[in-house]
Amino acid sequence: MFTPTVEQGRTSTSMQRKVLLGGSIGQFVEFYDFTLYGLSAVILSEYFFPDGDRITGLLVIFATFGVAFVMRPLGGLFFGALGDKVGRRKTLTITIFLVGACTALIGILPGFDTIGWFAPILLILARLGQGFSAGGESVGGPSFVYEHAPVAKRGLWINITLAATALPSVFAGGLILVLSTVMSDASFDSWGWRVPFLLALPLSAVGLWIRSKTDESELFKQTAAERPKEFSPIRESFRENWVGMLQVFFVLGVTALGFYMLSAYFVTYIQTTGDLSREQSLLINAIAMASYTIFLPIAGHLGDRFGRLPMLIAGTILLAVTSVPAFGLVTSGHMGLAFLGQTIFVLALCCYGGGCYTFFCERFSIHLGGHQLQHLVRSARRHRTVRRHLARRHHRGQHRSRLLHGRSRCPVPRPHLRHASARDPWTSGVSTGEPALTSSFVHVHITFCTDHRDEKR
Compute the distance between CA of residue 439 and CA of residue 445 in angstroms, rounded to an integer: 10
What's the distance, Cα to Cα, between the start and end of the chain in Å?
17
Complete domains list, the chain, with CATH: 7-222+230-448 (1.20.1250.20)
Determine the 3-state secondary structure of 396 from DSSP: coil
Structure confidence at residue 135 (pLDDT):
79
Instruction: Kindly write down the DSSP assignment for every residue of 116-138, as one continuous string.
Output: TTHHHHHHHHHHHHHHHHHHHHH
Compute the distance between CA of residue 388 and CA of residue 252 in angstroms, rounded to an integer: 8
Per-residue pLDDT of the chain (457 residues; tens, 9 = 90+): 333 444 444 556 777 778 888 778 888 887 888 778 877 877 888 888 776 666 776 777 777 777 777 888 788 778 877 877 777 777 888 888 888 898 899 999 998 888 888 888 898 898 888 888 887 777 677 777 887 788 888 889 888 888 888 888 788 878 888 888 888 888 888 888 899 999 989 988 888 888 777 776 666 666 666 555 555 555 666 666 667 677 777 777 788 788 878 877 788 788 878 778 878 888 888 889 889 999 999 999 999 999 888 999 999 999 999 988 998 898 888 888 999 999 999 999 999 999 888 877 777 644 444 444 444 444 444 444 333 333 333 333 333 333 223 333 333 333 333 333 333 433 344 444 444 444 544 444 444 434 333 333 3
Compute the distance between CA of residue 390 and CA of residue 105 in angstroms, rounded to an integer: 31
* Burial annotation 107-120 (CB, 10 A radius, 16+ → b, else e): bebebbeeeeeebb
Structure confidence at residue 183 (pLDDT):
87
Structure confidence at residue 233 (pLDDT):
58
Quick one: how far is CA 83 from the chain centroid? 19
Structure confidence at residue 143 (pLDDT):
74
